Structure 1
Amino acid sequence: MNKDRPDHAAFFLMAFTVLLWGFSWIVMKHLSHLIGPFDLVALRYAIGFLVLFVILLASRQSLRFPPFWLTLGIALFQTTAFQCLAQFALIAGGTGQVVMLSYTMAFWVLLFAWILLGDKPTRRHVLGFVLAAVGLVAVIAPWEGMSGGVLSSLLALLGGASWGLGVVLAKMLFQRHPNVNVLNLTAWQMLLGTLFTLPLSLGVPQMAIHWGSQTVVGLLYMGVMASAVGWVMWMMVVQRVSATVAGMSSLGVPVLAIIFAWWLLNERPTAVELAGVAFMLAGLVVVTLAPVTRKKLS
């Protein structure tokens, strides 16, 4: 039995990733009337792959494919299924609930990490997750009715579960292959995400892309910052801390998205939503600072 100690570098990486991804929801909302959802996913990952591929070539790092099955699983669940199910959910229902339900990923990570990695949650983890769950419910406000209905909510939850499984598969890969190059792994993840999304991009009816400076700048942010930089930093977080802590840190993204929407889009949160944000932040702090007890499964 051992305990994970706080990793200050990982906390910095978490904070910067949350910042990039929190702002990305504002960019995606702005792009929603300029490009179809699956075209956006395919193009952001294609741009992300090209950026990482150039960096790998320039730095003369290996282009060898990482451990096959785990890399394929990460790309399928964490990269493709999460984003595409979220986009399907956005088509069927409201944005707010979709975002928040997608980020139930943190709770799915807790379950999958316990089952697959033997990361048994401590009492402090349970306390943190209860606080975060209360906050999440307050922000979603199901008593006001779920915009878009059951289908949208189910798709968003499935997206969150897919990402949660992908996080645990990534942690499993780093445990079994500690010398894996994160930049190389993320580049292949971006390429596979592009290829897996192309059938949806080509086969699902969408609006025509309205090319212009706003579309280009938005795609560059989503491809370079949110995808290439964001996913590399996220994988470094998963590599350095427990899957449970990594998953919980993602709850900072919807919290920051609410703050950015308030600041930049004048979408003023209600008192209940602000209370929910406070509970989510409290849960985030409790779980991030709690040690993880690892019990190896026989």
Structure 2
Amino acid sequence: MTYYKSKLTASLYATMSISFWGVSFVSTKAVLGKLDPYSLLVVRFGIGSLFLLLLLLMQRKRLLVSFKYVPHLTILGILGVFVHQILQATALLTINASSAGWLISFSPIFTVILSILFLHEKLSISKAVGMVLAITGVLIVTTTRSGQSFQFFINIGFLLMMLSTLNWAVYSVLLKSLKIPYSPLLITFYMSLIGLILTTPLLIRNKGWESFSHLNYSEWAHLLFLGVFVSGIAYWYWGRALEVLEASKVSMFLYMEPIATLVAAVLLLDEKVFLISVAGGIIIIIGVIIVNGQLMPMLVNLIMKKRR
């Protein structure tokens, strides 16, 4: 009974993490009207770093790390926080939040491609089919309405969002291969701190603090959400879920992220939902599931449940 309770709790942690990450696109989009991407990220990383530090102090965790792992943490902070968040925040200047949510689910495809190129994994027929489906879904999502027809166009925002998914795949591979012997909470704290250090000079250059007085209570609430729940709690809960569930099972929760983004975008930003975009997003997710070899297990489990 205790085992199933711990699994249920871990699933709840993973669900909350994905929900926070999904809504993050909406909160970022809501604040970009007042702040430039760099100023937004400085506030977010500042709040996140302070919150994570308080968590570490409350848990009486050791803050010092070996000098040996400083380069590792620096690389992860640059890729996983600084570059990744700047790409996404800049992309959201020209695309809507729901489209960003669908496109970010393409990241596992890049992970598989990197594994084939650098880890010499074999490209099976099922993986090839899944990739073709996922790429087709991306092309559909990046289609815009023009009158009664839909025409594809190249938008810099879509390109930046795709680059962010590639960057996240590189970061994920590095995070796994570097094997830093510290808790996810401590690693996340240093990554957020590195992001704060790297973006602060850009805030100073642009005099971003002059825009802070223009923010209303709602926009400050979005920034607090990004700092505390997205940069802090989401990463922390994700690590706690991984302590109980297998990585492959936890990764299944990633398919819920675009749904969280879509719902939040409609409720908070009044974004219009185009069926063509939803169809493209579903195709992306199906393609990713096929590439990960998770389609057949899902179908078997569904059939077994119906028989019961």
Q: What TM-score, normalized to structure 2?
A: 0.74
Which deviations, in whole Å up to 9, do the C-alpha atoms of 1:187-216 show, x marking residues without a partner?
Answer: 111101111111222224657122432232
Structure 1 residues 75-154: aligned runs within 5 Å: 75-91=77-93, 93-95=94-96, 101=103, 104-116=106-118, 124-141=126-143, 144-146=151-153, 149=154, 151-154=156-159
SS at the partner of 1:84? helix
Which deviations, in whole Å up to 9, do the C-alpha atoms of 1:35-75 show, x marking residues without a partner?
Answer: 33211111111111111111111111111236222211111
Residue 158 of structure 1, aligned match among 154, 163, 167: 163
SS at the partner of 2:225? helix
Residue 172 of structure 1, aligned match among 163, 168, 177: 177
Gaps of 5+ in 1: 1-6, 292-298
State how many pairs are aligned: 277
* Cα RMSD after superposing both structures: 3.4
**Aligned equivalent of 1:41:** 41
Amino acid at match of 2:264: F
Q: CA deviation at 1:275?
A: 1.6
Matched, 1:208 2:211: yes
Residue 223 of structure 1, aligned match among 219, 224, 227: 227
Q: 1:103 to 1:198 in 2, by over 3 A?
A: farther
Q: 1:25 to 1:88 in 2, by over 3 A?
A: closer
Q: CA deviation at 1:163?
A: 2.0
SS at the partner of 2:211? coil
Q: Any conservation in 1 of the 2:107–2:169 contact (CA below 8 Å)?
A: yes
Q: CA deviation at 1:151?
A: 4.3
SS at the partner of 2:51? helix
Matched, 1:270 2:274: yes
**Aligned equivalent of 1:256:** 260
Matched, 1:193 2:195: yes
Matched, 1:241 2:242: no
SS at the partner of 1:144? strand
Q: 1:150 to 1:35 in 2, by over 3 A?
A: closer
Q: 1:130 to 1:141 in 2, by over 3 A?
A: same
Question: Which range moves more in the overlay, 14-23 or 230-239?
Answer: 230-239
SS at the partner of 2:176? helix
- Following the alignment from structure 2 to structure 1, what is the Cα–Cα distance between the partners of residues 201 and 255? 30
Q: 1:181 to 1:168 in 2, by over 3 A?
A: same
Which deviations, in whole Å up to 9, do the C-alpha atoms of 1:119-158 show, x marking residues without a partner?
Answer: 6566555444443333222222276243xx5644443333
- Following the alignment from structure 1 to structure 2, what is the Cα–Cα distance between the partners of residues 268 and 158? 25
Gaps of 5+ in 2: 1-6, 145-149, 297-308
**Aligned equivalent of 2:236:** 232
Q: Any conservation in 1 of the 2:87–2:161 contact (CA below 8 Å)?
A: yes
Give percent identity, aligned residues only. 22
Q: 1:203 to 1:144 in 2, by over 3 A?
A: farther
Amino acid at match of 1:167: S
**Aligned equivalent of 2:32:** 32
Q: 1:282 to 1:160 in 2, by over 3 A?
A: closer
Amino acid at match of 2:258: P
**Aligned equivalent of 2:51:** 51
Q: 1:14 to 1:284 in 2, by over 3 A?
A: farther
Which deviations, in whole Å up to 9, do the C-alpha atoms of 1:79-109 show, x marking residues without a partner?
Answer: 1101112333344x33466665555433222
Residue 289 of structure 1, aligned match among 290, 294, 297: 294
Q: Any conservation in 2 of the 1:65–1:188 contact (CA below 8 Å)?
A: no
Q: What TM-score, normalized to structure 1?
A: 0.76
Which deviations, in whole Å up to 9, do the C-alpha atoms of 1:201-235 show, x marking residues without a partner?
Answer: 22246571224322321111010001111233445
- Following the alignment from structure 1 to structure 2, what is the Cα–Cα distance between the partners of residues 237 and 126? 30
Amino acid at match of 1:229: I
- Following the alignment from structure 2 to structure 1, what is the Cα–Cα distance between the partners of residues 82 and 115? 20
Amino acid at match of 1:25: F
**Aligned equivalent of 1:16:** 16
Q: Any conservation in 1 of the 2:109–2:131 contact (CA below 8 Å)?
A: yes
